[in-house]
Amino acid sequence: MAFQKILIPLDGSALAERALPYASAIARAKNCEVILFSVGAASPDLTEKPMRAYLWDRAKEMSVPGASVKTEVVFGNAAEEIIKFAEKNKADLIIISSHGYSGIKRWVMGSVAHKVLSSTVAPVLLLKSKSPVIERVEVRKVLVPLDGSTLSEASIPYVEDLAALTGAEVILLRVVEPLLPPTIEFAAAVDSNQTYRLMQEEEQVAEQYLGNLKDKLSQRGLKVKSKIVVGKAADSIVDVADQENVNLITMTTRGRLGLSRFVYGSVTSKVHGEARQPVLLINPLEKPA
């Protein structure tokens, strides 16, 4: 099962602390281990004691029945220490804010989040500075964009686990991008009727693909619906997330559409840059425990 050990990097800022309600929500449902983690750059003799006191205060505020909340302070480069600690301690979820400064301006949270995301194999729940502050998290709807590849489907086991714990509705999304002729000569050779037929065929393939996945997840007791839209991938994902009022977007960091029109990693990057909702990013090469 996924999400047994959650790592929360904190830099002393209110923005970084937005991760705490999300950790509490998962811990309430799962009774997992939560580690509040901070990295100092100054001398341990001067800063370790107040840093540990700060983390203990945050741990007491969480007070999640049944869950284990621990604290850890290390010294060094923030991103490197987070990545190293997550790997050594086998963290299977890191929750981190995408922007922010520590109270004493030790490190920029956005820069650290980017480095962690690009280097760790653990799933990363990326919280956005533009999102509203939430004191108690409820995961009611989860959007799962898929491009038809097995790599993009690597997010599904995590979504299953999360939905089973929270009772959330799973929304499977497939974006069909418009056919764009690569050359003027090609455009002249293909009439509008043929283009329309090709698009219809793609939508039918997408409908069958999502229908099969929906049936499998529904048989496992999850609430599932599917949605197909035509448009630019990243823009459509962001729009659907708003239209459906989802609480979370879950997608992989790599993948490729069958027809190779877009690389899914670049779509993922744009989504987590523009979406208001938290984005759970899964490395498709790392399997859930």
Structural domains present in the chain: 5-127 (3.40.50.620), 141-282 (3.40.50.620)
Q: What is the pLDDT of residues 267-284, one digit of tens each?
A: 887 888 888 899 999 887
Q: What is the pLDDT of residues 79-90, one digit of tens each?
A: 999 999 999 999
Degrees, nearest 5: CA angle 22-255-161 = 35
How many of the other CB atoms lie within 10 Å of CB of 226? 21
* Chain segment 176-211, per-residue pLDDT in tens: 887 655 444 555 555 556 666 777 788 888 999 999
Tokens of 188: 């002249």
pLDDT over threshold 70, residue 139? yes
List the one residue out of 288, 275, 287 whose CA is nearest residue 239: 275
